[in-house]
Amino acid sequence: GAVVSQHPSWVICKSGTSVKIECRSLDFQATTMFWYRQFPKQSLMLMATSNEGSKATYEQGVEKDKFLINHASLTLSTLTVTSAHPEDSSFYICSATRRQGAGEKLFFGSGTQLSVL
């Protein structure tokens, strides 16, 4: 099946630093990728929709200047958490859409656990 690779799996950083998370579709081209945040024992919250070659669409309440998304190619989207603070500590997940037959299927990365000290 389709594989979406997310890197790194976990990262610990100091408050005020920036962290970049990569999401790659390994065996298919993904025109659209999604970024989510998930706090412990809570559900996934969509942060933004990333479209190749254009600006990302952010959900209400998500600061676009803090969570920078770049989708420079059909197989790579990155999320940069700028000037991270402890409240940004969370599990970040990406997903990518792949056409299958008449429809689309969503494939998820393995997630990135961010801990900001």
Partner 1 sequence: LAKTTQPISMDSYEGQEVNITCSHNNIATNDYITWYQQFPSQGPRFIIQGYKTKVTNEVASLFIPADRKSSTLSLPRVSLSDTAVYYCLVGESNYQLIWGAGTKLIIKP
For residues 37-59, b (16+ Cβ closer than 10 Å) or e, as one string? beeeeeeeeebbbbbbeeebebe
Tell me: does residue 67 bind partner 1 (CB under 8 A).
Answer: no
Give the rounded distance of the alpha carbon of 29 from its chain centre. Answer: 16
- CB atoms near residue 26 (< 10 Å): 11
Tell me: does residue 106 bind partner 1 (CB under 8 A).
Answer: yes
Binding mask 1-20 for partner 1 (x = CB under 8 A): ---x-x--------------
Residue from 45, 50, 52 nearest 93 by CA: 45
Minimum distance, C-beta of residue 70 to partner 1, in the bound complex (Å): 20
Binding mask 69-98 for partner 1 (x = CB under 8 A): ----------------------x-xxx-x-
Minimum distance, C-beta of residue 22 to partner 1, in the bound complex (Å): 14
Tell me: does residue 35 bind partner 1 (CB under 8 A).
Answer: no
